[in-house]
């Protein structure tokens, strides 16, 4: 999608320009668009062979552009950073994203969950139309240029196929992504480069991520607590993950029509119905991602977190107990649970995993587990596996236009900022909105420097 530019083709070693964007994801492209529309000559640099790689990956199962819910609940999704994100999505939220897509010739629709998608569900046509418009506006793309930081003279340094390139610019927008999916360009290598320049950066952490679980046959009671304390920092360990039987039989399968509830040690509660998937060592998927920030923080604070799973959210505890206690005659317990409660497959399997044969034959214990099965997680999956990352450039290190106060003329946008949100279009919307804010800030900076 990106033709070579003169800089890359001629292997020039230096360039001077008004505005540089570093990073070709949605935030960087939005910043480029704002500047180009204002008549600014824009040069965009990216380490990868083409732009928008994570954007395209996000669209593989249907590109979730934004969400249709009203502004107040929309902003509440940015837990802990509502105050900083609110003005960004106030200017460019769900309705504005849909209008922007329509301006590129891409119609959108609202799904049953309130999520907004392109009519054809695809990311590639949208990105293609966007790049065509940016090129028509004069944006120049320099691919395979990896940012190395600043030289002694303040010039931006890039490693390119033709050798190192130095670029001086009056305004710079950094939109370098977080630390997940490094193979797509977001590797977090920028963190020390900014920290060395006095920009406050919170450590990058996994967000919208899966977790490793504690084996159900781990010790119980006080012994379990002591065991968990001993477990902290010891990985890998045979105490983490499912039993081989459960992992082999159900790994990769989803839990459907369940409810997950969790209350952390600070009293913050989460309760929602949905789906998630069993992995070889734990859990992942939309329902787990939605509570992942609370689980992650609890694990960081205490070494473990336990959520409860309701396998039959449409059944009351009383009804479940009645059905479990119902005489089953000569039928096996598995047949009984299937006929009376519809419990089979992975749902029956997780009960056997946690209760064992003795627990399964205790009606009270079985009924309680069906409605509130405890699952303990002990570690988020590695950062590079996460859908997104928390942490990044602190908002306190930026002015209202997203300019770094320690680096006049340098603006930051996108996932490299210290915010997080669940999936559902919130990530992409805030990335684009912050890109627009940074682009507007860079435009203002350039205008002021001319006067």
Domain ranges of the chain: 6-206+386-450, 211-380
Tokens representing 364 are 């009270």
Tokens representing 269 are 């509660």
* pLDDT tens digits, one per residue of 284-317: 999 999 999 999 999 999 999 999 999 999 999 9
Q: How confident is the model at residue 230 (pLDDT cuts 50, 70, 90)?
A: low
pTM score of the predicted model: 0.89
Averaged pLDDT for residues 432-441: 98
End-to-end CA distance of the chain: 38
* pLDDT tens digits, one per residue of 206-223: 999 999 999 887 765 544
Query: What pLDDT does residue 229 have?
Result: 56
Cβ proximity of 389 and 205 under 8 Å:
yes
Residue 2 has pLDDT above 50, yes or no: no
Residue 11 has pLDDT above 90, yes or no: no
Tell me which DSSP letter residue 384 carries.
G
Which percentage of the chain shows pLDDT scores above 90?
85
The strand pairing partners of 393, in sequence order, are 201, 417
Integer Cα distance of 341 and 316 in angstroms: 12
CATH number for region 6-206+386-450: 3.50.50.60
Residue 6 has pLDDT above 70, yes or no: no
Nearest to 450 by CA among 13, 19, 101: 19
What's the alpha-carbon Rg for the chain, to the nearest Å?
Answer: 25
The beta-carbon contacts of 103-109 under 8 Å, at least 24 apart in sequence, are 104/129, 104/130, 104/133, 105/129, 108/65
Element at 72 (helix H, strand E): helix 71-76
**Triad 203, 209, 211: Cα angle to 5°:** 105
């Amino acid at each position: 999608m990106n033709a070579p530019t003169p800089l890359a083709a001629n292997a020039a070693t230096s360039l001077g320009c008004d505005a540089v964007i570093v990073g070709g994801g949605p935030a960087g492209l939005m910043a480029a668009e704002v500047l180009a529309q204002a008549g600014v000559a824009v040069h965009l640099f990216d380490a990868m062979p083409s732009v928008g790689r994570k954007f395209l990956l996000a669209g593989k199962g249907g590109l979730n552009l934004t969400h249709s819910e009203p502004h107040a609940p929309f902003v509440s999704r940015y837990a802990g950073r509502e105050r900083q994100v609110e003005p960004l999505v106030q200017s460019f939220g769900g309705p504005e994203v849909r209008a922007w897509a329509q301006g590129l010739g891409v119609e959108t629709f609202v799904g049953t969950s309130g999520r907004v998608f392109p009519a054809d569900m695809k990311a590639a046509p949208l990105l293609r139309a966007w790049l065509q418009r940016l090129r028509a506006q004069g944006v120049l793309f320099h691919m395979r240029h990896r940012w190395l930081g600043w030289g002694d003279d303040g010039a931006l340094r890039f490693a390119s196929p033709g050798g190192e390139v130095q670029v001086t610019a009056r305004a710079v927008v950094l939109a370098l992504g977080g630390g997940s999916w490094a193979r797509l360009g977001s590797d977090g290598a920028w963190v020390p480069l900014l920290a060395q320049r006095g920009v406050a950066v919170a450590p990058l952490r996994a967000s919208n991520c899966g977790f490793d679980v504690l084996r159900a046959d781990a010790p119980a009671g006080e012994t379990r607590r002591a065991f968990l304390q001993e477990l902290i920092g010891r990985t890998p360990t045979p105490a983490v993950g499912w039993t081989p039987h459960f992992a082999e039989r159900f790994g990769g399968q989803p839990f459907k029509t369940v409810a997950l509830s969790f209350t952390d040690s600070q009293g913050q509660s989460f309760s929602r119905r949905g789906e998630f998937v069993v992995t070889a060592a734990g859990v992942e998927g939309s329902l787990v991602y939605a509570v992942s920030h609370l689980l992650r923080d609890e694990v960081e604070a205490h070494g473990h977190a336990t959520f409860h799973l309701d396998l039959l959210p449409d059944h009351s505890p009383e009804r479940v107990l009645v059905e479990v206690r119902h005489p089953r005659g000569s039928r096996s317990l598995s047949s009984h649970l299937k006929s009376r409660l519809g419990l089979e497959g992975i749902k029956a399997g997780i009960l056997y995993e946690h209760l064992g044969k003795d627990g399964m034959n205790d009606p009270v214990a079985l009924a309680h587990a069906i409605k509130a099965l405890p699952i303990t997680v002990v570690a988020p999956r590695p950062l590079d596996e996460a859908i997104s990352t928390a942490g990044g450039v602190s908002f306190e290190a930026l002015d209202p236009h997203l300019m770094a106060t320690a680096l006049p003329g340098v603006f930051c946008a996108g996932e490299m900022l210290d915010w997080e949100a669940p999936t559902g279009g919130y990530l992409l919307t805030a990335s684009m909105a912050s890109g627009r804010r940074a682009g507007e800030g860079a435009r203002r900076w350039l205008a002021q420097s001319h006067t």
